[in-house]
């Protein structure tokens, strides 16, 4: 690489670093093919010629051209890698989230482009889980909450029609699992029934863990499934020694503040993407500097792809926490 610039640690350094197209290209190539062996994303051929003036490869296997963006969240995007890198930087390092309007102004692109870009970055933030949380001697909080409910902004007549006796018709249920001193996981769930909430618990928490929940009936019976389950009844009190769900409550309040203050109106079918973002923010909040968070996400863009149709389609409500 024909540069001596160190990897950026601040936004200012990042803007300087990625202002050089060749350096940005070299960086992206290294992310895309960490072992240095450029491989055709369509046919996996390593036989190709590089057209340096256009920074594209011509594959000798399938006789097609490919760029560094093919097979990543940047595929089909007309926006330059310089803008993409800064967009990733802004999103992963914004403590309370950043709106598509802010990103649009910061990068000089349309709000629609920024919105789509941010959803693609959120896809890269989505974590796959291969290990369960907890374990013998570990404490895990499980809690659920409702997000949304725009009833208070509605005209009284309309509100009457929408509000049911439970008051949750317009709200989306989400479930969260937090290992104390460890990571948090959260997902949209279709309801708060026992089979939904407990199947996530069995999938994501090791047997033998101490589990703390509120008194919701859906959590009853966990002791018969190998967990040490204790309940804090919020009708009586919020903390009883170790037994509380304050860690999860804290996560929910940060998430709700972000939705209210930064994102304003989030469609329920997109909610899981914002949850992924907040989970990432929480789990990586202790990294030493912003550059480390950026590199962590940049390394995840490989092999992820999100089309405009997928972003705008009504997909995403799932009973399962991401795995």
Q: Which parts of this chain interact with Zn ion (CB under 5 A)?
A: 40, 42-43, 45, 59, 61-62
39/104 with CB nearer Zn ion:
39
59/189 with CB nearer Zn ion:
59
Question: What is d(CA 212, CA 229) in angstroms, rounded to the nearest whole number?
Answer: 6
Q: Which of 5, 154, 77 is nearest to 311 (CA)?
A: 77
Question: What is d(CA 251, CA 63) in angstroms, rounded to the nearest whole number?
Answer: 50
CB of 51 to Zn ion, least distance (A): 15
The stretches of the chain forming alpha helices (DSSP H) are 11-17, 21-32, 81-93, 100-107, 111-125, 156-162, 194-204, 246-258, 271-283, 290-298, 308-312
Question: What is d(CA 230, CA 209) in angstroms, rounded to the nearest whole number?
Answer: 11
CB of 142 to Zn ion, least distance (A): 47
65/317 with CB nearer Zn ion:
65
CB of 103 to Zn ion, least distance (A): 34
CB of 35 to Zn ion, least distance (A): 18
40/297 with CB nearer Zn ion:
40
SS3 303: coil
Do residues 81 and 72 touch, judged by C-beta distance below 8 A? no
58/269 with CB nearer Zn ion:
58
CB of 304 to Zn ion, least distance (A): 20
């Amino acid at each position: 690489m024909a540069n001596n610039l160190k990897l950026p640690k601040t936004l200012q350094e990042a803007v300087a670093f990625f202002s050089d197209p060749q350096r940005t290209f070299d960086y992206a190539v290294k992310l895309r093919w960490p072992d240095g062996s450029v491989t055709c994303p369509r046919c996996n051929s390593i036989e190709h010629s590089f057209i340096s003036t256009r920074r594209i490869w011509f594959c000798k296997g399938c006789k097609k051209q490919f760029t560094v963006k093919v097979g990543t969240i940047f595929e089909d995007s007309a926006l330059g890698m310089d803008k993409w890198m800064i967009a990733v930087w802004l999103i992963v390092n914004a403590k309370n989230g950043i709106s598509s309007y802010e990103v649009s102004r910061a990068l000089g692109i349309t709000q629609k482009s920024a919105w789509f870009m941010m959803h693609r970055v959120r896809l890269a933030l989505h974590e796959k889980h291969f290990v369960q949380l907890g374990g013998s001697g570990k404490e895990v909080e499980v809690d659920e909450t409702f997000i949304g409910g725009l009833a208070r902004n509605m005209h009284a007549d309309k509100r009457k029609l929408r509000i049911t006796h439970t008051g949750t018709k317009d709200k989306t249920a989400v479930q969260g699992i937090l290992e104390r001193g460890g990571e948090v996981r959260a997902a949209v769930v279709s309801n708060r029934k026992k089979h939904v909430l407990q199947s996530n618990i069995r999938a994501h928490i090791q047997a033998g863990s101490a589990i703390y929940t509120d008194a919701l009936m859906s959590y009853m019976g966990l002791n018969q499934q190998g967990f040490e389950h204790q309940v804090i009844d919020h009708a009586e009190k919020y903390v009883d020694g170790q037994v509380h769900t304050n860690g999860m409550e804290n996560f929910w309040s940060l998430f709700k503040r972000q939705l209210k203050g930064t994102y304003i109106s989030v469609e329920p079918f997109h909610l899981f993407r914002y949850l992924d973002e907040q989970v990432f923010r929480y789990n990586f909040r202790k990294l030493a500097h912003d550059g480390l968070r950026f590199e962590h996400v940049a390394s995840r863009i490989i092999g992820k792809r999100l089309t405009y149709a997928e972003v705008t389609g009504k997909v995403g409500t799932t009973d399962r926490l991401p795995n």
